[in-house]
Structure 1
């Protein structure tokens, strides 16, 4: 299965030498599933899009330092492409910014949350369990992911099913008509990059949120489970 990945941001120069490109993070995420998943990358910032929606079997929209309500032309163009993917029922996953773009494109609402930044490891309660969702047997009713965001989806599009929620982020994971999936967390991140990103954004995040975020890195992350969930979602298992 060929999955097109829209890269909506670049790793900051200060973090690049140690952590590499976002494309490498996605390749690492699916490294155990190369027989099933092949990735093709598109630079959304440069409005690089497939010639046809069917060029790939499914798509991933990455995170970004930008907001879906910004007026940049590439965001408008990507949103239009996402709308066509939805019309053609092509399986699509949005991560962080991508999660928010799916919601915004399909009629939901995204704002900069007055709760401030969510960073580090965040646990979300499972409120609905699709067939493709895998969870850790040690805590089967929740899923923990690395997060880095200040924008949030505050209302879901029509025909959405909420999958995971927390007090801080009520709409942490949702699915639209079973073929569009939004995840606020970052399955592709590891803890080392999360720590570096928090340090890089420390002034913006604020000292209290920064310290709590760094402390949270001692908690476990359900990366294998969410990766298997994503693979199962795309393969319709």
Structure 2
């Protein structure tokens, strides 16, 4: 199954010699699950020729805000709406979660309560479990788009995951605010890269949380299941 990765950002340059870029992180996360990948660097204006160029689409994280004035964001939103119209399954992670929701009419903004980082417990009622995943975001989806439902939440982020149907009521898209593609080593380097602008006690608390076991593989299995079956709870 061919998955097109819509690459909407790059890791900080100062970390590029120690960690793979975001597209490679996702390919590593989903390795061995029956998926092949093409990568389109949409942040640099490199879009797929059509929505039908892949069997499914995966939208990555980004340092940009979905609400910011970047030339590539409106065509990305158009692409997302075309994917819905053609029922091509789509997954968004972090910025991908936010821009997908924005394309569907939700409000995305910088959260007044600050930044979430480190290992966070997310309640996922569809699968009846609480999963621990890494977070690093200051923006949040603030409203639920019409026709979507919340599938993940935390004490800090109420709309941390969404599921969408297409015009015919079939599962079309799902998205998560946390990062199943991140590992603890990258998270601590990312926190350090931004630490000058972060409260010291929050930095220490985030780093202390990184000893918790992460549910990255559980989410990877369910992402692959969603691409193949349309059901996030099928794994």
Which interval holds the TM-score relative to the shorter structure? over 0.9
The secondary structure found in structure 2 opposite 1:40 is: strand
Aligned residue number for residue 35 of structure 2: 37
CA contact (8 A) 1:3 1:38 kept: yes
Q: How high is the TM-score relative to the length of structure 1?
A: 0.92
The list of structure 1 runs, each at least 4 consecutive aligned residues, that deviate by more than 3 angstroms after superposition, is: none
- How is 1:24-103 mapped onto 2 (pairs within 5 angstroms)? 24-33=24-33, 36-103=34-101
Aligned residue number for residue 168 of structure 2: none
Please tell me the root mean square deviation across aligned C-alpha atoms, in Å: 1.1
The one of 123, 142, 153 aligned to 2:141? 153
State how many pairs are aligned.
Answer: 225
Aligned residue number for residue 206 of structure 1: 199
Per-residue CA distance 1:72-129 (angstroms, 9 max, x = gap): 1111111111111111111000000000001111011111001111011111112333
The secondary structure found in structure 2 opposite 1:65 is: coil
Aligned residue number for residue 225 of structure 1: 218
The one of 187, 191, 200 aligned to 2:180? 187
Structure 2: where are the runs of 5+ without partners? Answer: 166-170
Per-residue CA distance 1:43-63 (angstroms, 9 max, x = gap): 011121111110100000100
Per-residue CA distance 1:166-221 (angstroms, 9 max, x = gap): 12000111101121111001111111001100000112232222111111101111
The secondary structure found in structure 1 opposite 2:175 is: strand
Aligned residue number for residue 122 of structure 2: 124
CA contact (8 A) 2:51 2:82 kept: yes
Provide the rounded CA distance (Å) in 2 between the counterparts of 1:80 and 1:3: 19
Q: How high is the TM-score relative to the length of structure 2?
A: 0.92
Provide the rounded CA distance (Å) in 1 between the counterparts of 2:141 and 2:125: 17
Provide the rounded CA distance (Å) in 1 between the counterparts of 2:198 and 2:222: 30
